[in-house]
Structure 1
Amino acid sequence: MASPLSPEQAEAYLDRISLPESAKALLREGPDGPRALEAVAQLQQHHMAAVPFENLDLHYSSHRSLPQQTESVYDTVVQRKRGGTCPQVHQLFCQLLRVFGFAVYCTGGRLNAPASPAAAMDVDRSTVAYGPLIHVATLLVIQGRRHLVDTNVGPSASPSPVPLVHDQPAVDIWPRRRRMIYDTLPATSSSSSDGKWWRLQIQEPADAPGWMDVCCFTETEWMPVDFAIMVSGIGQLGAGWFQSLVVCFRLILEDGSPVGHLLMLHDEVRRYYKGKLAVVQKLYNEEERATLLRDEFGVELSAEERKNIRGTVGELKDLDHDFYA
């Protein structure tokens, strides 16, 4: 399938995420290059570090919507240097890979509640509670094998392509490990089906006795209209925290390798770094949040956008807090 992105737009995209020239050269060799998988891994990691998973348009825009059209999402990500939600960013990332000849498509998925960006830090990771189809999985085919490439879900996402091979653990963000399993969903997930799903799991710390489910999906390709219906359903029915909490997430790279992540969840900033998770900042008003978004995520909210959140459930209202005290 051809991509609607032009070669010039693709190059601007790569510059937007600061992809090194060496990685660009590997990517241009396409899926038949000897280091194609490495090229996609570098692309994925730089993308996750530069293009945040965020729902800011639901809180700071006047339209309160999540546009899906390639041209609109491209403008948001590349020209405005913003991020987006998984239906938006995954579909755009697919179009980028197609420019370089990769066979890639998207499908719908379910998220496990304890792996959600909004989950409490002390959540019981042994719980399996899958919700509706509100996630997106990008499936990439290299040398005849499918891989999960998840650029946009939050802290539990793997920063590297994960082969769809049953029970093959590998290092994820050190010291965390990840694996795929192909199995039915546990009864605790409210599913009674005996159908099998691909389930991404992480183990943290690496010597922990159990694994935590992150997401599950099948290999059925979804069309753009399927995602439009999904997004419309989220807008009509809601999706828990997504429309009430402001969230922004990015990967942390050091020397080109993933070492952790940074998550802004409503009024606090969580930092996972080399195996340690901590709350590093509390936010008390919109001025602090806007400064944090600019300095840590590269997102510059205009004065008009900052006005749009006033009076909504997502607004931070403690205007009298003295954060210098």
Structure 2
Amino acid sequence: MSIYTSAQISKYLEHIGFRHPDNVYQLAADNPLQLLTQLQLLHMARVPFESLSLHYSQSRLLSLDLEDLFDKIVNKGCGGYCMEVNAFFATVLRSLGFKLISVGGRVARPDGTYKGWDHMTNLVKINNQRYVVDVGFGSNGPTKPIPLEHGYNFTTIAPARGKLMYRSLIEHSDPDQRVWVYSVQEHADALWRDMYCFVEIEFFPGDFEVMNLKTMTTPQSFFVQNVMCIKTILNEEKTEPVGWVILHRDYLKRRVGDKSEIVETFKTEDDRIGALEKYFGIVLSEGAKRAIKGLASELRPKGEHA
């Protein structure tokens, strides 16, 4: 397995605002779960879950090469969707000495059925206990390592809660089959909704290349259809998640707890590009800005056609 150099790890830790980079390898040995929890929080507050390169680039192709991911995330200050950010984070963790496997998942539809393999997450093992560590599912995703235990119930960002169940799916032709299902309850009176399921079988880089190809190219893909960018809001001490900043199509929303407000709406590309820099620190090149011209996702003044 490839890993990042100590110089790359130091640069990444500086990028996410980790306070004690010189002690990180010792912390990984002494208290790995505490370090993992802190890294996940800081990562999700700095590295957005986003689809920008499918709209603001000439190629509109996403590389899972680890050096390309380091350049995109650390050097250029961008993020990516699940296979990008989770592959990158997995490599960071391996570089620090963590043991983990990357696995495939299926995202749930609103009716409770599931799509094909189109999600990636990581299972990190600490003291013979596996934890789900996912930095690439957006505003309904887990914000900390979750022990792989049937029925485990936890707070994501209050009042929302998450739950893990080991059970069958309605699509299973053999009801004795089991997968892990991650569900979310937005508040105490809401129904639980499945978000995604996953298995404990290790997926190889070649598997994710196949999944990535379809996700980034099929016209029906959510990421191909939508410009989106999401990051976590932390408390002042940077120890707990309190909300999300969500850019989606033509608006930017701030969600803290159970309160949500539209902060900005965009009428033009200049509006949206300005918000990416203001709220996410993402500065697009002139070529990237022009690349969206003519796409269905481009924002145009009212009455203007592609």
- How high is the TM-score relative to the length of structure 2? 0.93
Q: Secondary structure at the match of 1:248?
A: strand
Distance 1:37 1:134 in 2: 28
Give the one of 123, 133, 136 matched to 1:152: 136
The answer as to 2:108 corresponding to 1:109 is: no
Q: Tell me, yes or no, if the aligned pair for 2:219 and 2:225 is still in contact at 8 Å.
A: no
Query: What one-letter code is carried by the residue in structure 2 that aligns with 1:234?
Result: T
- CA deviation after TM superposition for structure 1 residue 88, in Å: 1.2
The answer for the alignment partner of 1:71 in structure 2 is 67
Percent identity reads 31
Give the one of 281, 287, 298 matched to 2:264: 281
Distance change >3 Å, CA 63–CA 193, structure 1 → 2 = farther
Distance 1:15 1:171 in 2: 28
- How high is the TM-score relative to the length of structure 1? 0.87
- CA deviation after TM superposition for structure 1 residue 260, in Å: 0.6
The answer as to 2:280 corresponding to 1:297 is: yes
Query: What one-letter code is carried by the residue in structure 2 that aligns with 1:134?
Result: D
Distance 2:300 2:190 in 1: 43
CA distances 1:165-206 after superposition (whole Å, capped 9, x unpaired): 011212221222212111011x2xx4444211111112221x
CA distances 1:279-313 after superposition (whole Å, capped 9, x unpaired): 33221110100010000011001111111111111
RMSD after superposition: 1.9
The answer for the alignment partner of 1:200 in structure 2 is 182
Give the one of 183, 203, 225 matched to 2:206: 225
Query: In terms of mean alpha carbon deviation, does 77-86 or 234-243 score higher?
Result: 234-243
Q: Tell me, yes or no, if the aligned pair for 1:30 and 1:102 is still in contact at 8 Å.
A: no
Q: Secondary structure at the match of 1:299?
A: coil
Distance 1:168 1:139 in 2: 15
CA distances 1:203-230 after superposition (whole Å, capped 9, x unpaired): 221x225322111100011111110111
Q: Secondary structure at the match of 1:312?
A: coil
Q: Tell me, yes or no, if the aligned pair for 2:215 and 2:223 is still in contact at 8 Å.
A: no
Distance change >3 Å, CA 290–CA 224, structure 1 → 2 = same
Q: Tell me, yes or no, if the aligned pair for 1:26 and 1:36 is still in contact at 8 Å.
A: no
Distance 1:243 1:36 in 2: 37
Mapping 1:1-325, distance limit 5 Å: 1=1, 3-21=2-20, 24=21, 27-29=24-26, 31-33=28-30, 35-114=31-110, 127-185=111-169, 187=170, 190-194=171-175, 195-205=177-187, 207-208=188-189, 210-254=191-235, 255-256=237-238, 257-318=240-301
Q: Secondary structure at the match of 2:140?
A: coil
Distance 1:272 1:72 in 2: 31
Q: Secondary structure at the match of 1:29?
A: helix
- CA deviation after TM superposition for structure 1 residue 32, in Å: 4.1
Distance 1:65 1:236 in 2: 8
Q: Tell me, yes or no, if the aligned pair for 2:250 and 2:299 is still in contact at 8 Å.
A: yes
Count, aligned residues: 301
Query: What one-letter code is carried by the residue in structure 2 that aligns with 1:151?
Result: V
Q: Which runs of 5+ in 1 are unaligned?
A: 115-126
- CA deviation after TM superposition for structure 1 residue 319, in Å: 6.5
Q: Tell me, yes or no, if the aligned pair for 2:218 and 2:224 is still in contact at 8 Å.
A: no
Distance 2:218 2:161 in 1: 35
